[in-house]
Amino acid sequence: MKLSLNTATVWKQWTLAQAIDGCARHGIPGIAPWRDKLAEMGVKQAAKAIQANGLTVTGLCRGGFFTAKDWLDDNRRAIEEAHALEADCLVLVVGGLPAGSKDLGRARERIQECISKILPEARQAGVPLAIEPLHPMQAAERACINTLEQALDFCDALGDGIGVAVDAYHVWWDPKLEQQIRRAGKQRILGYHICDWLVPTRDLLNDRGMMGDGVIDLPRIRGWVEGAGYSGMQEVEIFSEHNWWKRDPDEVLRISKERYLTVT
């Protein structure tokens, strides 16, 4: 069982403490906390509970958002927290267009400059940074790194200590996906996230599906990712206003596990 629970999947239902207990109860060996929940629980207490339950932290969500005013301090704190949790990586959602700007090219240059400022500290802390390319429909508001190829170009320019989080939901449509996963290889693939693309999709942010309920060929993408050398966990991350956030969280974990075993 190489399944990790991204706590966004039960964001409306559970605190981080409850999610840690839930993972232990369901035999899910990995967890990826979001920082709002981590702050609520306290980093030390969370690290202790995670360790006591023998969970792997597949990633800390999230650093990045370089459009925010306090981006530097916030990313420094995120690196410290990821270090304290011994997280496999700190996931970077890089931010979209600055308010009032239409200059996507400049926004992208600036992201590279910002990452290069925090990367030395991340290396020193032993925290790999994972750029998560987000679906192009989120380019304006959340992240203007939108393909794996683009993220890997950033990595190549930045050097060691940085890689990518491959989220099937964001990249499944990409005609160059197989090629770019191969290019990324073991060294650059720091995380692999799963859920499903629903047809129809009713919201650009919070209408993700449970694995098996949509059209993503998850076994094929997992095959590519593992073929490239990734041997880590699959992290289930479902934002779902109308369905999974409304369900009994124990049911969500039970079904996630069942689907992980049958359709991924």
Which one among 150, 226, 229, 255 touches a second copy, defined by CB under 8 A?
A: 150
Q: Which residues ranging from 181 to 210 are in contact with a second copy (CB under 8 A)?
A: 197, 199-201, 204
Closest approach, Cβ 101 to a second copy, in A, equals 8
Nearer to a second copy, 52 or 173 (CB): 173
Longest dimension (CA), the chain: 48
Question: With binding defined as CB under 8 A, does residue 157 bind a second copy?
Answer: no
Q: Comparing C-alpha atoms, which of 74, 50, 51 is closest to residue 63?
A: 74
Cα separation, 101 vs 106, whole angstroms: 9
Residue 17 has which token pair? 């403490």
**What are the φ/ψ torsions at residue 120 (nearest 5 degrees)?**
-60, -40
**Dihedral angle, C-alpha 167, 16, 122, 174, nearest 10 °:** 10
Residues 19 and 44 sit within 8 Å (Cβ to Cβ): no
Site track 217-246 with a second copy (rule: CB under 8 A), x = hit: x--x--------------------------
Question: With binding defined as CB under 8 A, does residue 54 bind a second copy?
Answer: no
Q: Comparing C-alpha atoms, which of 258, 261, 256 is closest to residue 31?
A: 256
Q: Which residues ranging from 126 to 145 are in contact with a second copy (CB under 8 A)?
A: 135-137, 139-141, 144
Q: Interface with a second copy by CB under 8 A: which residues? A: 97, 102-104, 108, 135-137, 139-141, 144, 146-147, 149-150, 172-176, 197, 199-201, 204, 215-217, 220
